[in-house]
Amino acid sequence: MGVKYGWSDTVKGAVSSAFNLGHTITNFYGGYLASAYSPKLVLSLGVVVWSAFTLLTPPAAALGLWPLFIVRAAMGLGEGVAYPTMQAIIKGWVPRERRSRSLSLMYSGHQIGSILSLLWSPLLIASAGVDLMFYVYGLAGFVWIAFWHPLVSPEPPLLRDHLPAGFSPPKMSELPWRTILTNRVFWALMACHSTFGILYNTAISWMPRYYNSAFGLDVRSSSFLSVLPWVAMACGTNISGWVADYLINRKLLTTTRTRKLLQLAGSVGPAVCLLYLAWGSGGAGQGAAGAATALHRAAAANATAVDAAVAAAGEAHGVGRGLNALELGGPSHLAAVAGVADSAELRSAVLLMTLTMAFLGLQAGGFASTHQDIATRMASVLFGTTNASASLAGSAFVYLVGVILDSTGSWSLVFQIIAACCLASCAAFLTLGTSEPQFD
């Protein structure tokens, strides 16, 4: 779509960020809705909204950038309730001893969606153009809800007996915001979740573009290589949940120490890989990326034909939400550019990217399970609030990456910034984090 409409990297980043802006708003409010009302109903309505606006994306893009921004933001509004409501569903339907692995399985659904999208999207685009992909993913949401909705009870069985007689949900303003905002554990979760959003959204929006500009690969090849990190992350995410439950249930480590151990591995691992990518193979990678970017721009200026292709972001939560990353590639004949990057450098970059996302998946048993430890009905509120921060941080950084690339072409700088955020947030969690109950 970026090639189709001639967008710059800055515009591509802005389009991708529009989704996250809407996503931020309803993450914040969706946590409250999930705690006060039926999480099943809230999630069902969210699926309907984001699926409908996915279907409207192609006609909006044809009208111009502002209609597209509005539609993408509206799609984000619908999708934003998903994670907070699923936190409430896990808390209300899944016993404590299986909670970490259930959360990990839920989180990995997003990664599996990314894998399927990256594999199928180039085929869909090659056969019928970019618009078909949005229609397929939009319809997939309606198909999913038709199967899922009848399988789930209206109210959470594990919480039903804990509510006092005559319970009525509090108003948004009646929630203990002062207690939340002065709690040190909440701020540790906020730091970790925001950093996760920065790394995750950058990977899902820009990874194919990185392979294209740094190594001269076409979009189809870039999309294929981009699948490997998501496979690794899905594995790391599920391993994390099982390891966490094993350590906690066998009483080998306390819940707090388990969370900190997995968060340490899930933060330092990506930081080391990204720094090596920036300073080692990939930052020898700096020179290769700069040369490839220059060749890419020169070839694009003289190309008579380009591939209309999109590296699509996978749908979270078992349904396709369409694209979180619009067209991030370039002319297909760039795959034949010789001398841009040695094959050993490419293999090293793919390995490091794959390890980065595998380590990132370990955070599922770290900070991403801690909301459930420190709160009962407030878990969805806490997660919605920190996930809103993650969406906002991810949105801002996705846009910043476009600005950095347009200005300097420096992937090394992008990797260094993300690595610094990983190390800082890890230090905050190790210092301030705990799994001791903090809220009702």
Q: What is the pLDDT along the chain (440 residues), one digit of tens a residue?
A: 666 666 776 777 677 778 877 878 888 788 888 777 788 888 889 999 999 999 999 999 888 888 888 998 899 889 888 888 888 888 888 888 888 898 898 888 877 877 887 777 777 777 777 788 889 889 988 999 888 888 887 777 655 555 555 556 667 777 888 999 999 999 999 999 999 999 998 998 888 888 878 787 766 666 677 788 889 999 999 999 999 999 999 999 999 999 999 999 999 999 999 999 998 754 444 444 444 344 334 333 333 332 322 233 334 343 333 344 433 333 333 333 333 445 788 888 999 999 999 999 999 999 999 998 998 778 888 998 998 899 889 888 988 998 898 888 889 999 999 999 999 999 999 999 999 999 86
Phi, psi of 58 (to 5 degrees): -60, -45
| pLDDT confidence of residue 296 | 39
Sequence-distant (6+) residues with CB within 8 A of 166 are none
| DSSP one-letter code for 162 | T
Q: How many CB atoms lie within 10 A of CB 3?
A: 21
- Choosing among 1.20.1250.20, 3.40.50.720, 1.10.3210.10, 3.40.640.10, the CATH entry for 2-152+184-432 is 1.20.1250.20
Domain boundaries, the chain: 2-152+184-432
Sequence-distant (6+) residues with CB within 8 A of 330 are 3, 212, 213, 218, 219, 296, 299, 300, 306, 307
Question: CB-side exposure of 203: number of CA atoms within 13 Å?
Answer: 31
The full DSSP string for 225-242 is: HHHHHHHHHHHHHHHHHH
Category of 64 on φ-ψ map: left (φ > 0), alpha (ψ -120 to 50) or beta: left
Give, in order, the Cα–Cα distances in Å from 137 to each of 120, 189, 207, 229, 418.
11, 32, 21, 22, 30
CA dihedral sign of residues 366, 369, 374, 379: positive
The full DSSP string for 295-346 is: HHHHHHHH-S-------PPPPGGGS----SS------GGGGG-TTSS-HHHH
Q: Calculate ∠ Cα 232-15-5, nearest 5°.
A: 110
**301: Cα separation from own chain's centroid:** 33
CB 258 within 8 A of CB 244: yes
pTM over 0.85: no
| pLDDT confidence of residue 365 | 93
Phi, psi of 313 (to 5 degrees): -80, 140
